[in-house]
Amino acid sequence: MMNKYRILLVEDERMLAEILSDTLGDREFDVTLAYDGAQALELTQDAVYDVIVTDVMMPVMDGFTLTKKLRAKGVTTPVLFLTARCATEDVVKGFELGGNDYLKKPFAIDELIVRVRSLSGKNRVSGTVVEKQRYILGDYEFYPSKGTLGNTANGDSIKLAARESAVLEYLCRNMGNTVEASAILNDLWGASMYI
């Protein structure tokens, strides 16, 4: 039997946190709760999670700062922002800081579950953490898990922003097909209002 996906849920509204924890726990998720970013940062020192679901507006340390600190430490765990802050500049900031997905409150629980499964599934095969796929693009190699694009001819490599990496991975998965910008926005972030 496959191990449960390990989720770190960071939410300062305790009632919502407990409801989400129970709901995800009833599915195939093993949920650890943190009530602010500082507590979550401490928890990531001792455990590895398949995905981190975090609110943005929290006391002590907000979700954006948490994600920035995690990425600075080299933590590549996918991060899903679950927040009422959904202005374009907030969404852009979340992705630029290293977030992988953004779901605005209020939300449908089934949508949250699908997004968490999608993010957690990117790191696992049969319950084992694996290196994500590598894409060969002419003289370049793209590693979605690292967000790097390397030139095989001269050995140079660049680190892509989280948003750039997500778009490039989407295009690689759909190689050979025409992809509309609205489809990318809808599939990656659940909205096409930004075009």
Instruction: Please write the tens of the pLDDT for every residue from 124-143.
Output: 443 334 344 677 888 888 88
Q: What is the pLDDT of residue 101?
A: 87
Q: What is the reported pLDDT for 96?
A: 87
Q: Tell me, what's the pLDDT at 120?
A: 75
pLDDT digits (tens, 9 = 90+) for 48-64: 888 999 999 988 899 99
**Total residue count of the chain as it appears in this document:** 195
Give the residue ranges of the chain where pLDDT is below 50.
1-2, 123-132, 195
User: Can you give the pLDDT at residue 190?
Assistant: 62
Task: Please report the pLDDT score of residue 10 as a whole number.
Answer: 92
10 in Cβ contact with 31 (< 8 Å): no
pLDDT at 33 (0 to 100): 92
Contact 169, 144 (CB under 8 A): yes
Give the C-alpha separation, 79 to 58, whole Å: 16
Spatial separation of the C-alpha atoms in residues 3 and 76, rounded to whole Å: 20
